[in-house]
Amino acid sequence: MRVLFTVNPEKTIFLSMVPLAWALRTAGHEVRFASQPRFTDLITQAGLTAVPVGRDSDPWRTLVLDPDLIDVARAGLPPPWNVAEDPSNADWDDLLFFHRDAVADTHKPQNFPIIADLVAFARHWKPDLVVWEPFTYAGAIAAKASGAAHARVLWGLDVFAATREIFKHFEARQPAEKRADPLAEWLASYGRRYGFEYTEDMALGQFTVEQLPISLSIHGDTHYVPMRYVPYGGPAVVPKWLWAEPERPRVALTVGTTAMDRLAGYGVDFQGIFDAVADLDIELVATIAESEQKKLTNVPDNTRVVPFVPLHALAPSCSAVIHHAGFGTLSTFSAHGVPQLALPCHFEGPLLSQLLVEQGAGLAVHSDVATGELVRENLLRLLREDGFRAHAASLRDEVRALPSPNELVPRIEELTAVHRPAPQ
């Protein structure tokens, strides 16, 4: 069958989709990956066939330029998705206002640049299945316009389905004159343009590939297909110092790339952490962008600073990890049974950290209050208390019990056949 993946030009999201794309490719299916033209090189670096569509744009640029928006982003889930964290705070007027805001300020700017070209390519190529991530609604539009089945693939918690379920619950309780659905209205406008009727699966996919184990998940009212997360971080080289077993407990410190790219710098004090753990009998491996390394005043003897190291190569040798609660980082270390200290700083990070703590495999301190001493205190707990290692091992076993992308392919073939419209 023909499978068309589509994604907005966001590197970490794309990387989380690559293993599934390759599983389908190696099973003999034709796979194409569509995105803005500037994203072509990243797609082809992953060995996949790129389809440049639309024009280049960067709607996230406004976030970097607005300090108030950065503060909101660092706090965790922004509205309307924050109701997924605490549904008891949901209010219809706020839900409606912020859904309108999300469509106008997020979904339209992210999707408009590619929709026309994506639909044109889909109608030409005639995919059997379109796979899209939760922000790329253009994928659902192209699927409906070309007669394909379509599915979402998640790169974190499904706060989108949880929020949608809450929104629809509140909308149903409103009198007819107060009911409105900004997301459905926006997607339906493309239906009128391309000749299809809006259906609710356009908001959530006909099925959803879930890459988190059940203990680290939240679900809405949609069809989930579980898949084991397979780490892929792009082209990488394993450094020689990783060939040997560490002589002391190795601790990784990494806070990802999103903070640097989207949030105007890291949200943690690296120097404060270095100083606080300098006397510990550990080997601290910290990944810090070269531009930020210049700000360091001292690197202790027990600390190794590198700009990048493939986390799936580093994780097996670690006794603990300190990270930003990013989906890929947290999932990689979960797959290797490593106790985790999360310092969340963005979007779903606080909620994902909370689930990690509830599972027993780690601890969490929000990056806003994560002083060096607090990090030291919590790190020592991870290294000294056996319970964290036991729960991290249980989490590892839960992850490994999920089907790999290759094992999932037959199920995707079945679901595609079920949902693909019959030929006219």
The distance of Cα 394 from the centroid of its chain, to the nearest Å, equals 23
Question: What is the rounded CA–CA span in Å between residue 341 and residue 362?
Answer: 6
The residue assigned the tokens 């993946």 is 5
State the Cα angle at 155 between 154 and 160, rounded to 5°.
55
Non-local CB neighbours of 417 within 8 Å, separated by 6+ positions: none
The distance of Cα 398 from the centroid of its chain, to the nearest Å, equals 19
- pLDDT value, residue 67: 57
Cα R_g (the chain), whole angstroms? 22
Closest by alpha carbon to 318, among 353, 363, 283? 283
Amino acid letter, residue 133? E
Domains of the chain in start order, with CATH, are 2-229+403-419 (3.40.50.2000), 240-400 (3.40.50.2000)
- pLDDT value, residue 220: 76
Question: What is the rounded CA–CA span in Å between residue 314 and residue 317?
Answer: 6
Where the chain has pLDDT below 50, the residues are none
Tokens of 352: 């994902």
State the Cα angle at 37 between 32 and 43, rounded to 5°.
45
Confirm whether pTM is higher than 0.75.
Answer: yes
- pLDDT value, residue 123: 98
Per residue in 134-174, pLDDT (tens digit) is: 999 999 999 999 999 999 999 999 999 999 999 999 999 99
Non-local CB neighbours of 108 within 8 Å, separated by 6+ positions: 186
Closest by alpha carbon to 319, among 308, 304, 333, 301? 333
The residue assigned the tokens 């601290």 is 284
- pLDDT value, residue 76: 75
Amino acid letter, residue 65? L
Task: Assess contact for 183 and 130: CB atoms under 8 A.
Answer: no
Tokens of 355: 């689930």
Query: What's the start-to-end Cα distance of the chain, in Å?
Result: 18
- pLDDT value, residue 404: 98
3-state secondary structure the chain: CEEEEECCCCHHHHHHHHHHHHHHHHCCCEEEEEECHHHHHHHHHCCCCEEECCCCCCCCHHHHHCHHHHHHHHHCCCCCHHHHCCHHHCCHHHHHHHHHHHHHHHHHHHHHHHHHHHHHHHHHHCCCEEEECCCCCHHHHHHHHHCCEEEEECCCCCHHHHHHHHHHHHHHCCCHHHCCCHHHHHHHHHHHHHCCCCCCHHHHCCCEEECCCHHHCCCCCCCEEECCCCCCCCCCCCCHHHCCCCCCCEEEEECCCHHHHHCCCCCCCHHHHHHHHCCCCCEEEEECCHHHHCCCCCCCCCEEEECCCCHHHHHHHCCEEEECCCHHHHHHHHCCCCCEEECCCCCCHHHHHHHHHHHCCEEECCHHHCCHHHHHHHHHHHHHCHHHHHHHHHHHHHHHCCCCHHHHHHHHHHHHHHHCCCCC
